[in-house]
Amino acid sequence: MKIKGVTYDIGTPTVDGSVTRPDLAAATIERELTAIAEELHCTAVRITGDDLPGLRLAARTAIGLGLAVWLSPMAPNADEATTLATITAAAEVAGELHRAGGDVTLVVGCELTVFMAGLVPGADVAARLAALADPTGWPPEFFAAGPPPVRFNALLATAVATARQHFTGPVAYAAGLWEDVDWTPFDLVAVDAYRDAGNTDTLRTALEELHRHGKPVVAAEFGCATFAGAEAHGSAAWTLVDRSDGTRRPRAGLVRDEDAQARELSSLLDLFTAAGLAGAFVFTYVTPAYPTTDDPAADLDTVGYGLVRSWPDGRTTPKAAFTAVAHAYAATRTD
């Protein structure tokens, strides 16, 4: 695979109203992106977040380290107008970086049927996921303006047209596997390719079928949490948090298993190579919102997807998955 990547969050609002990485320092960005380039042997980084100056700073830093940048602005729970305004602002930054010689791809959204308000009923991510599971209960107003898939693809077409007013480089969208995307306006086909108990036997075929669009296919996200059996939960493992007494902790019964995470990521990278993908981005480098501890009952990193453990004092330490991904990326060819 040519694109050997990892996602890197510079701060995104969460379901509980906090921010994943408040007060992220420039020195921390420099240190972590250097590790991504030099220790993980990445060729690319997908930078996510809702803070435009932070996105610009991280992108400039990554480019300076020789990394290709997938600039991926996030505006969780925003309406259509705010989403398009966010894309416009990010496209201006991407254009600036591109004109300066940076290798930049703009990602105009991520799983918008879930993360954006208005395409699917529901006030938040959880409600919209539930609505997607049972469209028979949708209110009539969600069909009044036409079939929801048509409205969805019209929004994506508008997003691409908006981006191209400011940015002449490649444009992508990070689709959920459930989303029926019209890839015509895009330069690449990019999907969040998580594996779980429901698609273990079909994921490779689903990815191979995407080649019919005649464009490079990329896994915009894939990952695994850090407990025994996490591979069966795919992208939903982060929900296995007990909040019953107001303190977040992993649900009882989960057993930390770094080797399980490492095996799943290695297996998925092999699958993507076999499926002919042009690249992939591991989710994710670090997750300070899921801090680790030596107390198994309180170790939120057990349900986290980071390649490094994030300690409450700001330290990070590599996990077995870090070593596995570094080995895979160092060993694979980029042509």
Complete domains list, the chain, with CATH: 3-331 (3.20.20.80)
Whether the per-residue pLDDT at 108 is higher than 90: the answer is yes
Whether the per-residue pLDDT at 96 is higher than 90: the answer is yes
pLDDT confidence band for 147 (50 / 70 / 90): confident
Lowest mean pLDDT among 67-71, 142-146, 164-168, 185-189: 142-146
Whether the per-residue pLDDT at 335 is higher than 60: the answer is no
Distance CA 217, CA 276 (A): 8
Distance CA 39, CA 25 (A): 21
Question: Taking the alpha carbons of 195, 174, 318, 243 in that order, is the dihedral positive or negative?
Answer: negative
Q: CA-based Rg of the chain, rounded to a whole angstrom?
A: 19
Q: pLDDT value at position 135?
A: 86
Structure token digits, residue 261: 């995470």
Q: How confident is the prediction for the chain on average, in pLDDT?
A: 95
Q: Give the tens place of pLDDT for each residue, 158-189.
A: 999 999 999 999 999 999 999 999 999 999 99
Q: Is the distance from CB of 70 to CB of 170 less than 8 angstroms?
A: no
Distance CA 216, CA 220 (A): 12
Q: Which residue has the tokens 């306006």?
A: 185
In this structure, the chain runs to a length of: 335
Q: Which residue has the tokens 């510079």?
A: 10
Lowest mean pLDDT among 9-23, 162-176, 293-307: 9-23
